[in-house]
Amino acid sequence: MVNNLEQTTEKGQPIFREERVLVVDDLEKWLKVASDNLRYYGCKEIIEATNPSDAVKKYFEVNPTMAMIDINFDTDNLEDTQGLDLIGHLREQEYIREEKIKQVIVAMSSLRDDIKLRALASGANYFIDKRKFVKDFDGFVEWYKKR
């Protein structure tokens, strides 16, 4: 696992090698952290978006198999939860296109309170708390292997 922003020359098991992942976050730091960790586990196709509208556009352009989505896109407003709306919208698009819900959606946030429950209720398969990203990403990898 890549430890936060440090790069490594080692590689983990290539469990994400077949995935095309859309990573959505407004902060460059978290785009890099998520992307580096996905690459560590073999992901070669990572598409980045910095806001929900860009994410929707790229979602239809590249048809990702997995998405990692931040919840808050306004660091000055901790009540902002545009990422929950985005997760719900992507799940709705799968339903409209009559696809089985096959895309793995991972919500990421450092917001507190009930944000994890709200993310899962919006359609996320897994939740990563950014305050303990390394531990939670490792947990996600284990969850992914078993699914």
pLDDT score of 5 more than 70: no
pLDDT score of 99 more than 70: no
Average pLDDT estimate for 91-120:
81
Q: What is the pLDDT of residue 98?
A: 65
Sketch out the chain's domains with CATH numbers.
20-146 (3.40.50.2300)
Looking at 19-33, 73-87, 89-103, which range is the least confident one?
Answer: 89-103
The values of phi and psi at residue 67, to 5°, are -140, 140
pLDDT score of 37 more than 60: yes
Q: Sort residue 112 into left (φ over 0), alpha (ψ -120 to 50) or beta.
A: beta
**53: its two tokens:** 């509208």
- How sure is the predictor about 97, in pLDDT bands with cuts at 50, 70 and 90? low
